[in-house]
Structure 1
Amino acid sequence: MLILAKLLLGPLLLAQARRLRRTALRLPEAAGPRAGLEPAPATVAGSGAPLRLLVVGDSSAAGVGVEHQEQALAQPLARHLAERAGRPVAWQLVAQSGVNSLEALELLAHHEIGPAAVLVVALGVNDVTSQMPPHRYVGNLRLLCERLMAQAGVEHIVFSGLPPMHLLPVAPQPLRWYLGRYARKLDRTLRDWIRSEAALRYCSLQWTLPHEMAIDRFHPGPGQYAQWARMSAEIIETEFLRHQPVTESV
């Protein structure tokens, strides 16, 4: 279906994509620190060594759509984890607007990555727009995981799924339909891979709605970031911390 659509609609899809790149509102990445320590709740005594968290991704991980990292994904996620785990959380964010799964590997090579037991990955939208084949998308993510397991000591990984791009208000039809179909294809491939790996978990973003998005009608709004952080923290705590205490990374 997608191959046929690309053959029949190729010139129109290309023209719409080029126009969208020229006219889309470009928002900055969220301001604020990209590493920090979220303390354990004051009511918890003897909270122990910090849980170390690494967030890697594209513009959504970088907080495009909100003003400060306090409203984005990584810092609120660390705060929720500290509350749920009853221990401090040391967090680091490595993210850049526009990167796909392949470019994220190069991005990591240019950053000093600290130790991390838990990794959260938000990549895929730019793989849709760059037409990354599904097997290469997953292959790039697998390489990213292997690299960070070896380099940073990552034990557990949560992948954020693709958002419902068929609802993307900034994209005209039929481009919106095509992007949505391609996003669902990548998302299915991602979920199939995750089900085969014990260390991996999936966080769906299919609940996001257009009227809650940022003013560019492309990135998450404040409420969506808040929900995303809460959901990711719940997955980490219930799937990893509660039954398999995470060891301290060194």
Structure 2
Amino acid sequence: MMRALIAPDQVLRVPLLPVLATQALLVRRNARLLPEPTGPREGRTGRGPRLRLLITGDSSAAGVGAGTQAQALSGQLVDRLARHHSVEWQLEATTGHTTLDTIDRLRGIKGEFDAVVTALGVNDVTRAVSCRTFSERQAQLINILSNELEARRIIITGVPQMHRFPALPHPLAWVLGRQAARLDNALQQVVSVHSHVQHLRLDLPDDPALAAPDGYHPSPRAYALWADAAARLLLQA
């Protein structure tokens, strides 16, 4: 039986550990902490066939980097969907949440949803969650959304390309970026076995205007591109 190949970044983590630890500490110390935006986290708007929408996940789902929820993913996505549907929407997202945190949060949610958009992965990367554990938890999350919340359409946003985060210096950005890519590959495998679930990879252009002032979260422009892509998938369905 052949052993799985160890990636270069995994091999170099040990000798690079002092540098990585120092860089992580400096990033955390110098980070500009942005609040979650103000604005409603549920509502009803638009005309047309009823669409019950849930948006869930971490700080990006919560809209950090935008001034208001209207500028964030939730507001911009609802705005696009409301042109075709009567949208009843709900936002369940919190800064710092991992996939496991989101699973725990959703266990307390009651209701049924026609569509769900998730945004998770960055905190799983920074907390060193393994690919296997991440896959298991994402599969559990999809099960809860599908069976307990009866979601008919689920859009799983891919794990962001962390090596492109302006706030992260190299080699820290390289190491986190490689792990993020591995988790996203695992995520695509989880999604592929479900006909009602789709992976949304956000491959945004290199534009400084797409990053929030903290260099870590999306800006309103990035949220607009994200909302465009998610709305296209949901409306196609």
Asked whether the two chains share a fold, i.e. TM above 0.5, the reply is: yes
One-letter code aligned to 1:214? A
Alignment match, 1:63: 63
Alignment match, 1:221: 219
Deviation by residue 1:57-76 (Cα, 9 ceiling, x = unmatched): 10000010011110111122
Question: What is the deviation of 1:13?
Answer: 1.0
Contact preservation (8 Å) 1:79, 1:89: no
One-letter code aligned to 1:138? S
Q: After TM superposition, list the pairs within 5 Å mapping 1:56-205 onto structure 2.
A: 56-83=56-83, 86-109=84-107, 111-205=108-202
CA distance in 2, matches of 1:98, 1:153: 26
How many residue pairs match? The answer is 229
Q: Secondary structure at the match of 1:127?
A: helix
List runs of 5+ in structure 1 lacking aligned partners: 41-46, 241-250
Deviation by residue 1:80-126 (Cα, 9 ceiling, x = unmatched): 1222xx320111000000111111112223x4343211111100111
Contact preservation (8 Å) 1:58, 1:98: yes
Q: Secondary structure at the match of 1:112?
A: coil
Alignment match, 1:51: 51
CA distance in 2, matches of 1:3, 1:180: 12
Question: What is the deviation of 1:134?
Answer: 1.1
Question: What is the deviation of 1:149?
Answer: 2.1
Alignment match, 2:228: 230
TM-score, normalised relative to structure 2 = 0.91
One-letter code aligned to 1:2? D
Contact preservation (8 Å) 1:29, 1:63: yes
Match of 2:36 among 29, 34, 41: 29
Over 3 Å counting, the alpha-carbon distance change for 1:55 and 1:26 in structure 2 is: same
Question: What is the deviation of 1:23?
Answer: 1.6
Q: Percent identity?
A: 36
Q: Secondary structure at the match of 1:70?
A: coil
Taking only aligned residues, the RMSD between alpha carbons, in angstroms, comes to: 1.5
CA distance in 1, matches of 2:153, 2:214: 33
Deviation by residue 1:191-235 (Cα, 9 ceiling, x = unmatched): 122222211111111225350201111100011001101110001
TM-score, normalised relative to structure 1 = 0.87
